[in-house]
Amino acid sequence: MAGSAIGLGNIWRFPYIVGEYGGAAFILIYILSTLIVSLPVFVAEVTVGRRSRKSAYGAMHSLRPGHKVWKFAGFLAVFTPLIINSYYSVIGGWSLDYFLRACTGQFVSVEPSAASGIFGGFISSVWGPIVCHLVFLGICALVVLFGVKSGIEKFSKITIPTLFFLIIAMIVYSVSLPGAMDGVRYLLKPDFSQITPRSFAFALGQSFYSLSLGMGAIITYGSYVSKKEDIVLSGAGTAVSDLLFAILAGFAVMPAVFAAGIAPGAGTGLIFQSIPYVFSSLGQEVPWLSTLFSVVFFLSILMAALTSCISLFEVGVSFLIDRSRWSRPKATLAVFLACGLLGVVCSLSFGPLAHIQISGKAIFDLLDWFSSNILLLLLAFLTVIFVGFALPRQDVYDEITNGGTRPVNVKLFGFIYFLIKWVAPVFIAIIFVTNFIL
């Protein structure tokens, strides 16, 4: 679960969302959103998964059969990660390409302005991004092929501690750059005049994105969780780890962005445009150090992308195994083909298909907006409504307290249940409406 949460949502999406929606003030809202709304949703999703022992598609319906709304929720739980993984794997392909460029010292051998411009030329081409996207997706498929214990869990146990080590190394380097302290102040000194209603909407959306909520991933992983596990403690540990890593990623990226003189709200390509500029500038003075840090940084992004996409991949595989009784290899191949084909379309939306615009958004941007502002919120809303109103209170009590054997959880149950049943649905509904009226 930590591997699912700690990933691209932190290291790629969080810095540019912070840059676009208010800096330090946005971070405060993001922290509150995670603790008050997202953590209860996380516990609710694990509760549904563990109680049902089913994939995300059949979990709610198996616990309360006969209601079409829960079948619809199951459909969302499979459809949403398919959509997200399709364009996530495109970003994973970008990170793979940039990691290979770093290994060959390309950012050191060009002028800083040229290093910053590599990104636009690469994503607008045809075959390079597609090949990288498919290779990256193939790596995810290989990990998923080995299953949860032998594949995903072992991979996450290695990558998550490594990710923390790599990002801390990047912070040490980033804050030492000339002009970097402006970026540090941007992350630490709140300016509440920058906050708008959309800042609240994107804070909650980012929190959901980062914790993999509303994607079916946590419900799926919850179905594998032992009855002996404390899901409240596990959820709190995952949420805190996720918050910590997101903030660390901000301190690794934003000081470098300010040092490079690039606007913090530069959008989805922020790290791929600003960071090479910094590495190239350093390369003019200390080439070996620039190469080392560029390899470390883009390895961090690559690993973050893998941990995110693997969890989304597993949702579809789990669905096909449970629903169609397919073998894991066959299910893995099917998900690879589906995400691969849609990902190719997303990749081409920066090049030959760039002229196709829907509501002013390219295909890639449209899928990102649609998933984060509609699909995630809708499934999360249905989940907390299900746990709060459709699932018997005693069932929820048994899952959260492990049948009354966890004294701390027994004392906290009333508060946790209140957050799940009343607070989370209200906040999600308000944010959902905000996305359409502002």
* DSSP, residue by residue, 355-408: T--BTTB-HHHHHHHHIIIIIHHHHHHHHHHIIIIIS-HHHHHHHHHTTTT-HH
Alpha-carbon 358 to chain mean position: 24
- What φ, ψ does residue 362 adopt, rounded to 5°? -70, 165
280: amino acid identity, one letter: S
Q: What's the total number of domains in the chain? A: 1
Residue 438 pLDDT: 63
What's the DSSP call for residue 153? I
**Tens of pLDDT, residues 322-348:** 888 899 999 999 999 999 999 999 999
Q: CA nearest 178: which of 77, 84, 285, 106?
A: 285
d(CA 343, CA 82): 10
Around Cβ 382, how many Cβ atoms within 10 Å?
22
d(CA 188, CA 258): 14
d(CA 7, CA 12): 8
d(CA 216, CA 376): 9
Q: Which two tokens stand for residue 415?
A: 């508060």
**Tens of pLDDT, residues 20-57:** 888 999 999 999 999 999 999 999 999 999 999 998 89
What's the DSSP call for residue 251? H
Q: Give, in degrees to the nearest 5, the angle at Cα 235 between 431 and 229.
A: 145
For residue 148, the domain's CATH number is: 1.20.1740
What is the DSSP annotation of 180-226?
HHHHHHHHHS--GGG--HHHHHHHHHHHHHHTTTTSSHHHHHHTTS-
**What is the per-residue burial (b if ≥16 Cβ within 10 Å, else e) of 249-284?**
bbbbbbbbbbbbebebebebbbbbbbbbbbbbbbbe
- Provide block-wise average pLDDT over 10 residues at a time, the chain (438 residues): 71 90 94 95 97 92 91 94 95 96 88 81 96 96 80 71 80 86 96 88 89 90 92 93 90 87 80 80 80 83 84 90 91 97 97 92 92 91 97 97 96 97 95 79
Residue 434 pLDDT: 82
Range of the domain at 60: 2-437
In terms of C-beta density within 10 A (0-12 exposed, 13-18 middle, 19 or more buried), how is residue 405 classed? Answer: exposed
Phi-psi region at 305: left, alpha or beta (left = phi > 0; alpha = psi -120 to 50) = alpha
In terms of C-beta density within 10 A (0-12 exposed, 13-18 middle, 19 or more buried), how is residue 96 classed? Answer: buried
d(CA 34, CA 40): 9
Q: CA nearest 96: which of 54, 48, 132, 137?
A: 132
Q: Which two tokens stand for residue 114?
A: 């040229």
The residue assigned the tokens 């005049």 is: 193
Compute and round to an integer the Cα radius of gyration of the chain: 21
